[in-house]
Structure 1
Amino acid sequence: MTAVDATREPVRVAAQASLSVLSRPACTIASLEGELDIATVPELRERLLGLLGPGVRLLIIDLSGVSFCDVAGLAVLIGTQRRATARGIVVRLAAPRPQVLKLLRITGLDHRLTICATLADALPTVPQGM
C-alpha cells in the first residue's frame, strides 16, 4: 500500500460521548461527557431533543465533562436552544471547561446562549422565605 492508497481508506474513530439525565421538579439536567464532534452529535442531538417534552420548563446542559467541541457540537447546542425556545423552555449551559468557553466566546455564541460558570449557578433559585 502506498501513501496515496492509505489516504483513500476511511478512518474509523469510536464515538466518545455520553449523556446522563437527572429530572427534577423545577428542571432537567443533561450532563454531557466526552467529545461533541461530528462522530458523536447525531445520537446526542436526538437524546437532547427528546428531553424537550411537556412539563419541562428549564433544561440545563452541564458541559463540565466535555473535553472537546467542534462546529457540529455547537450546532447541536444552538439547535437544542432553538427548539426549546419554540416550546417555551429555557436552556442554560453550565460549567463549560475553558477550551469550550473560549470556543463559545470566539464564535459569539456566548451572546446567544445563557452560560453559567457552575451547575449551581444554573439551577433555579428558590425565592426567599420559602
Structure 2
Amino acid sequence: MRDTAVDMVVVERERHVTVLLSGEMDRVSAPAVRYRLLDLAGAAGRPLVLDLAGVSFFDAEGLRVVSAAARRCDELGIGLATVGVRPFAAKMFRLLRLHERIPLCSSTEEALWCLLPITDADLADWLRD
C-alpha cells in the first residue's frame, strides 16, 4: 500500500499564517488534513495562505478539504487564499467555481493582496518598486 500522508508545515507571520502542504490529498489523507486545517483556522485568528505547490495529487476529497477550510475562515472572518495550485487542480477549482470564493494566487504576495487590508507602508513599498 502506498503512503498517502500529507505533510503540513505552519509558518506563523505577524498578519497571516502560511500553511505548506505536501503529499497526496486523497480520500485516505484528507480527513486528517481537514481536521488540522479547521483547528488551525480557529486558533490562528488571522488569514491563511495555503501553499499547495507540494501537493502531487489532488482529488475531490482534497477539494472538499480546501472548501471546508475556506468556509471555516469565512465564518471566522479571516479569509483564505491558495498559492501553488497545479494546473489539474486549478482546472477542478474553476469547473466547480471554487475559485470564485477561494483565490488561486500565483504568489504569497498576491494572496496577501487578496486577504489583507493594504497599509500605507505596503502601498509605499509597492510604489517604490
The answer, yes or no, to whether TM exceeds 0.5 is: yes
**Aligned residues with identical type, % of pairs:** 32
Cα distance, 1:128–1:119 mapped onto 2, change above 3 Å: closer
Q: CA deviation at 1:15?
A: 1.6
Whichever of the two has the greater Rg, that structure is 1
State the aligned residue count: 119
TM-score normalised to structure 2 length: 0.82
- Correspondence 1:86 to 2:81: no
Matching residue of 2:90: 101
Matching residue of 1:20: 9
Residue 122 of structure 1: which of 111, 116, 122 is its match?
111
Amino acid across the alignment from 1:112:
R
CA RMSD in angstroms comes to 1.9
Cα distance in 1 for partners of 2:124, 2:97 equals 38
**Higher helix proportion, which one?**
2
Q: CA deviation at 1:85?
A: 0.7
Contact (CA 8 Å) 1:95, 1:119: kept in 2 or not? no
1:8-39 per-position Cα deviation (integer Å, ceiling 9, x unaligned) = xxxx4422321110000110000111111101
What stretches of structure 1 of length at least 5 have no aligned partner? Answer: 1-11
Which contiguous aligned blocks of 4+ residues in structure 1 show a shift greater than 6 angstroms? none
Cα distance in 2 for partners of 1:90, 1:70 equals 23
Cα distance in 2 for partners of 1:93, 1:129 equals 25
TM-score normalised to structure 1 length: 0.81
